[in-house]
Amino acid sequence: MTIQMHTVYHKKIETKLAYSKKEGDLSKPMIVFCGGFRSDMQGTKALFLEAYAIQNGYGYIRFDYSGHGQSGGEFEEGTISSWTQDAKAIIRDLTDERDFILVGSSMGGWISLLCAKEFGSRVKGLIGVAAAPDFTKDMINEHFSEEMKNTLEQKGRVELPNEYSDEPYIITKALIDDGHQQSILGAPIDIECPVVLIQSKLDSSVPWEKALKIQERLTSEKVDVILLKDGDHSLSRPQDLKRLEQSIDYLLSEV
C-alpha cells in the first residue's frame, strides 16, 4: 500500500504525517480511522477497514499521529491536543469536503469525539472501539501511586509497563495536564450523529462502564452500546471485526 506524507505544524514546527487514502465513490461518505495510544495505521483494525472500504466502494483514510508509526515528530512531545490537531488536519485537508464517519480505537475514540464536535453535520456517524475519553485523568486518579505522582511532578515523566511491547509507555506531565484540559465526560457531549460504542467487559485497560458514561453524556438520540462478555482491549479478533463491519453497515444505512 502506498504511504503518503502530509505536512502539519505544531508550534510552527513542520511535522510530516504518514497516511494512506483511498478515494472510493465520491457520492458516498468516507471512513476515517483514528488509532490508539502508541498504535499505528498498520494495525489489524486499520487494515481491515481499508479492505472493507475498497470492497464496498467507500473512500478511506488511515494515518499515524505525530510521534507514531511512520510520522515525524517525537512521541514524548505529543498530547491529546496535538494528536487531535493531527486528526483534524487530516480530515480538513484530505476529505475534500466530503461527509464521513469516524472510527476511533481507544484513545482514538476520544479524538474522534473531539473531531465530531469540530466538524458537525459532515460527520454522519461515529464508532468507538473501547473508546477511552479522559483516560489521562483516570490514570492519575485510579492507577498512579503517590510515588508515581511525585516522580511525574519532579521529572516530568513516568515509565509504565506495556503489555503489547518491551518498550515502556512514557507518560509525560504535559500529556496529563493537557488531558485534563481536553476532558469531555464532565459535561454533555454535543454530537448529533448516530454513535455505536463497542466495549468488552473483560477489557483490562478501559472499564466497560466507560461506554455507558459516554452514552449518558452524548446529546445524540441514537447511541448504541454493544457490551461483549469476552474479548480484550484491542477487539481485533475475527468476531470483533465482524461486529465492527456490522456497525459500519448500520451507520452508513442511516445516511
Q: Give the C-alpha separation, 31 to 15, whole Å.
A: 24
φ, ψ for residue 10, nearest 5 deg: -115, 115
Answer yes or no: 71 catalytic.
no
Number of other residues whose CB lies within 10 A of the CB of residue 220: 16
**Annotation marks residue 224 as catalytic:** no
CA-only gyration radius of the chain, Å = 17
Choice among 68, 71, 105, 233 that is catalytic: 233
Please write the tens of the pLDDT for every residue from 74-130. Answer: 999 999 999 999 999 999 999 999 999 999 999 999 999 999 999 999 999 999 999
In the chain, domain spans: 4-253
Judge whether 166 counts as a catalytic residue.
Answer: no
Give CATH superfamily name and number for 4-253: Alpha/Beta hydrolase fold, catalytic domain (3.40.50.1820)
**228 and 244 in contact (C-beta within 8 Å)?**
no
Catalytic residue chosen out of the listed positions 105, 106, 200, 234? 106
For 208-221, the pLDDT digits (tens) are: 999 999 999 999 99
Q: pTM value? A: 0.95
CA atoms within 13 A on the CB side of 140: 19
Which member of 64, 134, 178, 203 is catalytic? 203
Closest CA to 45 of 215, 244, 208, 254: 244
